[in-house]
Chains A and B, each alone.
Chain A
């Protein structure tokens, strides 16, 4: 018996050594979802008991919920028991060994977007030298961040290293039972990002998932938590302009932002997942819950998004404006082509005095796609002197596409002022004529006009992102003219 005990003890110790980045060879779970699966998932990730309980609570809520059907999108029913909820990071042997093995179509797109060669490899999922990668990242990013006291790590690491912060804020903005997809995410989230900016710190650089080590395989249920303490500032970029290779069809992410007194969070997204082919086959389902809470006085949360990918998008980055004088912003460009469907918008919930929000949404639909803006602006009884301005414009390219606007406006305070306007138009013949007359070919002319249409939003993006976003629209619109 003594030996067995010893062995066991050794085993336990061994597990400890590897901590959270244990290389488990337990490849992929069988498809299906039940409490055992969640327990196994939590165990593999080495999570503490409270985390498992939290996940199970979410799972039980999820079981009682119905999949929402109010969005203006259609897709075949998803069988949640046909999905595998854990898959170990791919081993190098299974990945494409060089760019020669990658789909030439994908490479062509990289070419057009002007992506540097070594980045192309990474994006296409080619097995690159991880050591080179992590060293460069560590030196250029980790050091200055550590110096400033900013925590920037995976959510799994955060659960281990900063349990009190995670326990305090996880689910505080998007509770487990918030909606069907959020509940699912809370039960089975695979990994994600955690950012903590201490009091008075201005984060010295733009944070981006793209540069975080281990970010490559966060899986389909991503969870992000960003906390900005008093008087801090952080700008976070999510996604990248290059199309991401991904086998998972369903993506249900949750993003929570918490801004305390005088804090500012700027969250920019460029989403360009596989939208399916010209005939509408395949493509990612992107069902995301993003919400920020302006808890503190004078806090500010700003969402900027450029959405060009995914077959079906269901996404409403929101702000709960609780703190006095807090500000919420939403700038969005959503482009759909071929058979893509997007139902996206924002919610601005004004609870505190003198809270302000701005919504600028630009929807572009081309091909046979459908693009809907759905927004809620709500003033609670305490939203004295609150103000909202909303502008949502739609641009239609081609006569088989659709553009919709569903703005909900609710006011319970007489001193609150809301203004909403929306227009729908197409690329006018006059504009095209002017461009053609000056020798610009039709495709370029459309892209120029579309870029002009989106300018208000692009100027909110970090500079290098803005340039890429312009190019991205050009690529996404290909084939929609003529």
Chain B
């Protein structure tokens, strides 16, 4: 048998050295662990449908320069932190300096603080399951640490804009760590955008650590260009009665991969995961989610919708794992998919793994096209065929778009969707 390809050593040479010593040490240690790491292939279960899109040329190994200036600012009503190629840009950012909510770059941490952080990075992730995101720990050059003290509340959403400049081949490794103490609350928007058209890789890791009763709403919007391969991982760890809500909206690219792992570790914790994916042309998008019910009396609710047009490829893999002591768990997963063209492909795998008996778990998945009778109904009432298509497609995801709690994101999504409709449904 042919040996599996391994990660080129070029990818293990970190760039900027501006981090505090403990973080540099961590980075080096994680890097040695990745030497000769096998790259995922078609036989790698969690990359089964996506490995063929992963194309890592050696030119892409170097860190993208963060000398430039970020592009024109996006509408961000609220606070804003801007990252350019994985490094924070304080001049472009605008956020409050509060006693109970500390928002800082990894580079500004004292050695002691950095040491504590180093011991906690990756703690919310099952790194075996997100093998490609492990690269982030070996390469990150900066990061955002958000610490909320007990009862702290941020009054407006915090936008974290990650921009990459794809003017030359290279890669960027944005990183976020959020620590939410008892009963604190925050709404975060992670926005991934790009400029330029050279092949680049963006490899992100975001971690949320929720103490008792904490509440985090996370919005993730992915609209990078067609030369960006995006590999992202989000880890969430929840203690008693905490609540995590996530809204992922993604538009396809040459490779789009997001792993979302939630661990419900305290009784009464709950999470709600929503996701919308839209792909066209030859694009790809792969969402992998995993909810671990570790403690009893936890609830999870997951709703993902994919729309694939042209010859694009959308993948969903949802896993619910109920541990032996997680009695009285409630888990509900729902994945619906819309295939708009015969060249497109959708693959879905909603998994349940259950080790406790007193639980309520259900999952459902469907794949289909727009309903002919509904189209006929609309057309027979004088609505044009194109308009009817748009209406029905919009209806398919509208419930999820409506639930996005930040209006500015909703508007951006709508603009993107309109472009998609424009592209996909021609005037008859």
Contacts and interface: CB of A to CB of B under 8 A. Distances in A.
B346 A394 contact: no
B367 A421 contact: no
Nearest to A415: B369
Nearest to A420: B365
A422 B327 contact: no
A406 interface: yes
Interface in A401-416: 401-416
**Dominant SS at the B interface?**
strand
B1 A424 contact: no
Nearest to B356: A399
Contact of B324 (A400, A412, A420, A423): A400
Interface in B297-345: 324, 327, 337, 339-345
B94 interface: no
Nearest to A408: B349
Contacts of B365: 407, 409, 418-421
B75 interface: no
A365 B1 CA distance: 38
Contacts of B337: 411
**Dominant SS at the A interface?**
strand
A399 B355 CA distance: 7
B352 A424 contact: yes
A70 interface: yes
B362 interface: yes
Contacts of A396: 354, 356-357
A398 B363 contact: no
B342 A411 contact: no
Contacts of B390: none
Contact of A394 (B327, B340, B345, B354): B354
A399 B351 contact: no
A403 B354 contact: yes
From B1, B349, B360, name the one whose CB has the most chain A CB atoms within 10 angstroms. Answer: B349
A9 interface: no
Interface string A417-461: 111111111100000000000000000000000000000000000
Nearest to A394: B354
A49 interface: no
Contacts of B362: 421-424
B373 to A, nearest CB: 13
Interface residues of B, number: 37
Nearest to A381: B342
A405 B351 contact: yes
B368 A420 contact: no
A381 B341 CA distance: 11
Contact of B351 (A379, A381, A404, A416): A404
B426 interface: no
A64 interface: yes
B363 A421 contact: yes
A396 B327 CA distance: 12
Contacts of B324: 399-400
Contact of B339 (A407, A413, A426): A413
A422 B335 CA distance: 12
A404 B323 CA distance: 12
Interface string B361-380: 11111111100000000000
A411 B354 contact: no
Contacts of A64: 1
A52 interface: no
A402 B366 contact: no
B344 A414 contact: yes
Given A420-B364, A424-B361, A407 B354 contact: no
B347 A410 contact: yes
Contacts of A260: none
B357 A398 contact: yes
A104 B337 CA distance: 56
Contact of A421 (B346, B356, B360, B364): B364
B399 interface: no
B349 A406 contact: yes
B358 interface: yes
Contacts of B417: none
A225 interface: no
Contacts of A417: 366-369
A412 B313 CA distance: 9
Contacts of B366: 417-420
A429 to B, nearest CB: 9
A237 interface: no
A189 to B, nearest CB: 26
From A64, A398, A408, name the one whose CB has the most chain B CB atoms within 10 angstroms. Answer: A408
Given A411-B339, A413-B342, 6 more contacts: A396-B357, A402-B353, A403-B352, A405-B353, A407-B350, A422-B364
9 contacts: A381-B342, A404-B352, A404-B354, A405-B352, A405-B363, A406-B351, A414-B340, A420-B350, A421-B363
Interface of B: 1, 45, 49, 324, 327, 337, 339-369
Q: Which 9 A-B pairs have the closest CB atoms?
A: A396-B357, A414-B339, A424-B361, A405-B352, A414-B369, A420-B365, A417-B368, A411-B367, A426-B357
